[in-house]
Structure 1
Amino acid sequence: MERVDPVRVVDLVQTVKTALAGGLAWWMAGVFDLDQAFLAPWAAVLVVHETVYKTVSRGSQQVAATFFAVFLAFGLGITIGTGPWSIGLVILVGYLIGQLRWVKEEAGTIATTGLVVIATGSIAQTDLLASRLIDTALGVAVGLAVNLVVWPPLRDRAAWSQAEHLPGELGAVLRDVAGGIGADLDPHDVKAWIRAIRKVDVHIDQAWRLLWQAKESGRMNPRRSQPTGVRELRKVLHQLEQAVADSLSMARTVARSAENRTDWDESFRERWREVARGTADAVDAEDVPRLEELGEELARMTEDFSQSSLEPEVWREYGGLLMNLRNVHDALTAAVQWNHEATPDKRRSKRFDDPREMLRRERQAGESRRRLSAARGGYSAEGERTPEHTQERTQG
């Protein structure tokens, strides 16, 4: 049975939650008979983000931006009217206010909301101005409530899932390179390798984004689950980034060799191809012992050819390919080991302790210590006087 991709699951759930927030906000706007009811679902939809922390942050910014926009438009409309100058100024000042750090994400909201307020003639109707603020605040509150109550997102499993695919992708490129090295190398093959390597690099960037979302998703999250393995995942991604750079260097070295029609030593070619192809196969099979054997073979190969009487130019080429392959092999080995050690049940640590639960357990432990001390005549398990008994004797 094919495993469900956590990235798609989280994205699908967020889509459903966004729709739920919009519908619920519209219903509540009808219940409260709001004048500009459409603003509530509008704000609710915009505020449901991939983490609770971002929902709170962007929601508060959106409310603040709406307040700024309404009062800015009202002030300009009263002082200079509702002509082109007021429209231009509300946009200009709105974007200038949006440079403030705590509303920087909503600079466009300030400008466009102010524009709408002036253009629709709402300045003359102060009740509509107040309604716009109330409707927006209601939508933000509904969006925040939905994101908090309905499966608050934790993005750690999505980050792990994205990273799991990377070693296999890089291994596939390594297999293609091993299969393509030969006297009849086609330059188009090298271009295809480079495109595939750059695609892996894009996927690594996606894993980094999910990793930062995973760190952020634990903040303000009522589920209190603490993402774990973040440090290990960061280390693996750094190694894979280096492996991508080495893979690109490897592909370009092979391409230059083909252009210069360099005659490769047949023994070197076959041993290098065997290690590269074997590494790719071992990554697919998640065979850590085999990867370790290939690492030893790569070390022996380096030793053998370093002692041979090769021309300096040839050895520079061989040495570069051996170093590239070693770095790629080491990164893939570390990634496979990490996948083995970090099984899904170990990727999320126990939940953050609820402060009330911690206090209750502390009181119970204190009661147990006092009862045990009383039973032993005021002595601890180590034979020392307990602080409680010492205090009682002093007061006596």
Structure 2
Amino acid sequence: MGDVLRDMADEFATSWDTDRAEAWFQETQSMSEELDSAWRTVRFARESEKMNPRTRLTVPSRTRRGEASPAAEASYEEILARVDEGISHLRHLARTLREATYDDGEWDSTFRENWVRIVRDAGRAIADPDTEVEPMHDRLTALAADVSQDGRLPRRSWPLYGSLIASMRHIAVIVDDVAPAREAREAG
């Protein structure tokens, strides 16, 4: 996901075409297939765990207060569900960019430059969760406010720009969750 987002940012910074957008869309299809394989593996592991008599003898990891640690609470199912959600929003983003190649008109340069920085940072954060980036949700809100307040954006452009912002907002929620989840795993 991180590589696709970085590639989108690099291409969109200057220009892009239908073929590149179609390639991104196809990459999301491949990600979904890999995710399906991961789901099958997790389901198999869960079934195997149920049949393993040793699991009844082990005690879950506990913190000092007797509660399960944050790392112990995280399940593969939750992680895979978040990945699935991210792929879905990435697919929507690729589809939107693919359809936008057929629109006439110039892109607003302020929108393009800021959106590219946010997408590139999201790609870096997904590819390397240890990378420090500014929270993207606030940056997307500021971008929407900036291009809407100055009035230079034509009304017919808002559905497209809004869709790009909304897709990245959904992805940003997932990316912004990476740091706290990583900190919880390290603390556990």
Q: Using structure 1 for the length normalisation, give the TM-score.
A: 0.40
Matched residue, 1:377 = none
- The amino acid of 1:210's aligned partner reads T
Matched residue, 1:274 = 117
Task: Identify unmatched segments of 5+ residues in structure 1.
Answer: 1-169, 347-396
Give a deviation string over 1:47-86, Cα, whole Å, max 9, x none: xxxxxxxxxxxxxxxxxxxxxxxxxxxxxxxxxxxxxxxx
**Cα offset for 1:217?**
2.5
Q: Is the counterpart of residue 242 in structure 1 residue 85 in structure 2?
A: yes
- The amino acid of 1:266's aligned partner reads S
Matched residue, 1:191 = 22
Q: Is the counterpart of residue 312 in structure 1 residue 155 in structure 2?
A: yes
Q: Is the CA contact 2:136–2:169 (under 8 Å) kept in the aligned structure 1?
A: no
Matched residue, 1:220 = 51
Matched residue, 1:302 = 144
- The amino acid of 1:260's aligned partner reads D
| Greater radius of gyration (CA) | 1
Counterparts in 2 of 1:210 and 1:334: CA distance versus 1, 3 Å: farther
**Cα offset for 1:182?**
5.1
**Cα offset for 1:278?**
1.2
**Cα offset for 1:329?**
1.9
- The amino acid of 1:222's aligned partner reads P
Identical amino acids, percent of aligned pairs: 26
Q: Is the CA contact 2:125–2:175 (under 8 Å) kept in the aligned structure 1?
A: no
**Cα offset for 1:327?**
0.8
Aligned length: 175
Q: Using structure 2 for the length normalisation, give the TM-score.
A: 0.78
**Cα offset for 1:321?**
0.2
Map 1:108-119; keep pairs closer than 5 Å: none
Matched residue, 1:137 = none
- Structure 2: how far apart are the matches of 1:175 and 1:341? 27
Q: Is the CA contact 2:136–2:176 (under 8 Å) kept in the aligned structure 1?
A: no
SS at match of 1:305: helix
**Cα offset for 1:271?**
0.4
- Structure 2: how far apart are the matches of 1:178 and 1:190? 12
Counterparts in 2 of 1:217 and 1:209: CA distance versus 1, 3 Å: same
Q: Which has the higher contact order (CA 8 A, sep 6+)?
A: 2
Aligned match for 1:293, one of 115, 132, 135: 135
Counterparts in 2 of 1:289 and 1:179: CA distance versus 1, 3 Å: closer
- Structure 2: how far apart are the matches of 1:306 and 1:226? 55
Q: Is the CA contact 1:288–1:337 (under 8 Å) kept in the aligned structure 2?
A: no
Q: CA RMSD in A?
A: 2.7
- The amino acid of 1:243's aligned partner reads G
